[in-house]
Each structure stands twice: as structure tokens, then as C-alpha cells.
Amino acid sequence: MTSLVTVTEENFHLYRDEILAIERVSFPTPWSLHAFAEELRRPVANLWVLVRGGAVAGYVCFWRFDRELHLMNIAVHPGLRGKGLGRHLLDRLMAAARDGGVETVWLEVRPSNTVALAMYRTAGFAEIGRRKAYYRDTREDAIVMARFLEAAERRPCRRQDAAATPTPVPKPLEGIE
């Protein structure tokens, strides 16, 4: 069984070791335990884990503010890559964005991360700029990508309510074995 779980400060201890293990093997400069804990304290931050067979298969961390969503971090366990789980996490994120009246979803990605770039492009993201020498470890640029959601894609949301609108809680997963 596969499920998507919202991680909070209260339940983070249940998932932290697996999240950190995936993080360490997924990124040249992984986030620390402190970084994840700080994210959970931010009112705009959200962290979801994809649990499969009782273990964390992947996670996504994002910020939601006003009518924008910023994808901060997404990763899948190396033994489960290539099975569409990263794309499934991204699709669930985009569904939450649409349901929450988000107009724009932003992210940064390394040019060397060709797998992620391909996933983002097939999900409708476009390169809109670069941040020179953004990644301190390699001095690699960051490609800034965005997807602008069409009005027909998103649930109507009044501007004054947007900042107070919580990110929808993930619904049970379907179609993932």
C-alpha cells in the first residue's frame, strides 16, 4: 500500500531517519536534520512523505505563500527511482496547487540534474532564468523554472483569502502499486 502523509513537527520523528537517508544519497549537499526541522517551523512550509510498504519511498518539501508555490526539495529512494514516484509526487503537488488557487509554481534545479529537468519539462515547467553560481558546493548555476497555471486549471480564490488558505491535505493515493 502506498500513501501520502503530511509531516508535521509532531510526527517528524516517525520519518526523519528515512528522509535524511534519502536526502544524503540524493544531493551533493544534503539538508541537515536542523534544516528539515526549521522548515517544519515555517508557516509557509509543507513536507509530505510518500510511504510505500511501511517505508518512506520519497518526499517533497514546498512553500505555499499567497498565490505562489515554491518547490524546495523533492527526492525518491534510489532503489525506487524510475518507477514514476517522483512524477507522482510532483503531480500531487500540482493538484494541491490547483486546488489551492495557486497561479505560479517555482523551482530551482541544477543543470547537471538531467533526470529532474526532464521530469519538470514534461510536467509543463519552463526555464525562465538562471541564478549564477547558486550552488555553493560546485558553483553550478541554478536553472529557475516555473509553471504558470491557467485560470481554468485552478480553483477560484479571492486575493485576500490566498495568504490564509492552507495547502490541501493529501488525499489517499490511487494507481500506485
Whole-angstrom distance, CA of residue 9 vs CA of residue 96: 21
Q: Which amino acid is at 91?
A: D
Q: Mark whether 18 is an active-site residue.
A: no
What are the φ/ψ torsions at residue 30 (nearest 5 degrees)? Answer: -70, 155
Q: How many CB atoms lie within 10 A of CB 69?
A: 26
**Which of 68, 108, 140, 153 does the annotation list as catalytic?**
108
**Which of 39, 59, 103, 120 does the annotation list as catalytic?**
120
Strands 68-76 and 55-65: antiparallel
Q: Mark whether 120 is an active-site residue.
A: yes
Q: Is the dihedral of CA 166, 67, 88, 36 positive or negative?
A: negative
Which residues are tagged catalytic?
108, 120
